[in-house]
């Protein structure tokens, strides 16, 4: 039996994960901002589920709940950083307030959660952090520029801190789901559209989402199963793509970037300082 701490657990993949973990007999501390389906689940799960309330943008409250969770449970094996949402609109369309909230939730909230749990994981001799990112942490769609900025940003943060804390037995898994049948679309924060973008790629994506032609291949239950399985592996890969769309899109993007990079080898090396002795 493992003990998990899961943020963003009131809906979508987070709620699905909590249900599966409790169902298999694990203990879960699950966070939500307000009343949610977790409350009903808590009444039937007994001591296998503890619901805590905080918004990841409130760093002080989050730290208090993290500290209390570790104090009450002794050891937490896996921390799942899942809280987040999508901001939809061309970069020119979104408001300053929307940008600030998106970054505060998806990026800063994830960073501060990880910073809050690392001292506890280090003190207990190790543990695992599962950061829920997206295929959008490696690829990009028009109309999701700020969402991508947060996902690319948190993946860079994880790459660095994973090296810092590896000597303490702390490791990371970055989950990268593709478009998945959850309530993600219903939770989108949408910018006021500008007519000038109607005949651009941003307009194409807006229409595809509105008319349902934007293909969603991912199954929520299977995605959750794969995330749990990745967190259960003794020595997991740093990243795990989830869904055929995620695999194909990430593979294409990485292959294209690698091809461009390799073609620039001579230019790259030409920017080095002269070798010692060559004046």
The pLDDT assigned to 188 comes to 80
User: How far apart, in whole angstroms, are the C-alpha atoms of residue 243 and residue 220?
Assistant: 10
| Contact status, residue 21 vs residue 92, Cβ threshold 8 Å | no
Query: What pLDDT tens digit does each residue of the chain (279 aa) get?
Result: 899 999 999 888 999 999 999 999 999 999 988 767 888 888 888 889 999 999 999 999 999 999 999 999 989 999 999 999 999 999 999 999 999 999 999 999 999 999 999 999 999 999 999 999 999 999 999 999 999 999 999 999 999 999 999 999 999 999 999 877 776 666 789 999 999 999 999 999 999 888 877 777 888 899 999 999 999 999 999 999 999 999 999 999 999 999 999 999 999 999 998 875 444
Matching residue, tokens 């298999």? 24
Tokens read off for 58: 């409130």
User: How far apart, in whole angstroms, are the C-alpha atoms of residue 162 and residue 174?
Assistant: 11
Question: Does the active-site annotation cover 81?
Answer: no
The pLDDT assigned to 135 comes to 94
Residues with Cβ < 8 Å from 137, sequence gap 6 or more?
148, 151, 152, 154, 155, 174, 176
Whole-model pTM: value is 0.92
Tokens read off for 82: 């899942």
User: What domains can be seen in the chain, in order of their start residue?
Assistant: 3-87+94-187+217-265 (3.40.50.720)
The pLDDT assigned to 276 comes to 52
The pLDDT assigned to 279 comes to 45
Question: Does the active-site annotation cover 235?
Answer: no
Matching residue, tokens 């993946």? 155
User: How far apart, in whole angstroms, are the C-alpha atoms of residue 148 and residue 144?
Assistant: 6
User: How far apart, in whole angstroms, are the C-alpha atoms of residue 215 and residue 169?
Assistant: 40
User: How far apart, in whole angstroms, are the C-alpha atoms of residue 248 and residue 78?
Assistant: 28
Tokens read off for 183: 């309530």
Question: Does the active-site annotation cover 197?
Answer: no
Q: Which of 11, 133, 134, 145 is catalytic?
A: 133
The pLDDT assigned to 36 comes to 74
The pLDDT assigned to 27 comes to 95
């Amino acid at each position: 039996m493992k003990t998990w701490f899961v943020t963003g657990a009131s809906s979508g993949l987070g709620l699905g994960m909590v249900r599966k973990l409790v169902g298999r007999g694990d203990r879960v501390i699950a966070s939500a901002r307000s009343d949610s389906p977790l409350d009903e689940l808590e009444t039937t799960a007994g001591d296998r589920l503890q619901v805590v309330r905080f918004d990841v943008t409130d760093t002080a409250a989050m730290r208090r709940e993290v500290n209390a969770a570790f104090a009450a449970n002794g050891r937490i094996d896996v921390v799942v950083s899942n809280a987040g949402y999508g901001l939809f609109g061309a970069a020119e369309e979104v408001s300053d307030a929307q940008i600030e909230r998106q970054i505060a939730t998806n990026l800063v909230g994830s960073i501060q959660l990880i910073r809050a749990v690392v001292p506890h994981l280090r003190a207990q001799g190790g543990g695992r952090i599962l950061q829920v990112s997206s295929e959008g942490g490696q690829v990009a769609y028009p109309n999701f520029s700020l969402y991508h900025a947060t996902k690319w940003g948190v993946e860079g943060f994880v790459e660095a801190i994973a090296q810092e804390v590896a000597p303490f037995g702390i490791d990371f898994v970055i989950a990268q789901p593709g478009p998945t049948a959850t309530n993600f679309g219903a939770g989108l924060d949408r910018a006021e559209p500008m007519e000038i973008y109607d005949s651009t790629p941003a307009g194409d994506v807006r229409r595809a989402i509105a008319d349902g032609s934007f293909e969603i291949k991912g199954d929520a239950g299977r995605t959750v199963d794969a995330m749990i399985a990745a967190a259960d592996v003794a020595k997991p890969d740093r990243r795990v793509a989830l869904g055929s769309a995620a695999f194909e899109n990430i593979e294409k993007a990485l292959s294209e970037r690698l091809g461009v990079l390799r073609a620039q080898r001579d230019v790259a090396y030409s920017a080095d300082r002269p070798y010692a002795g060559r004046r």
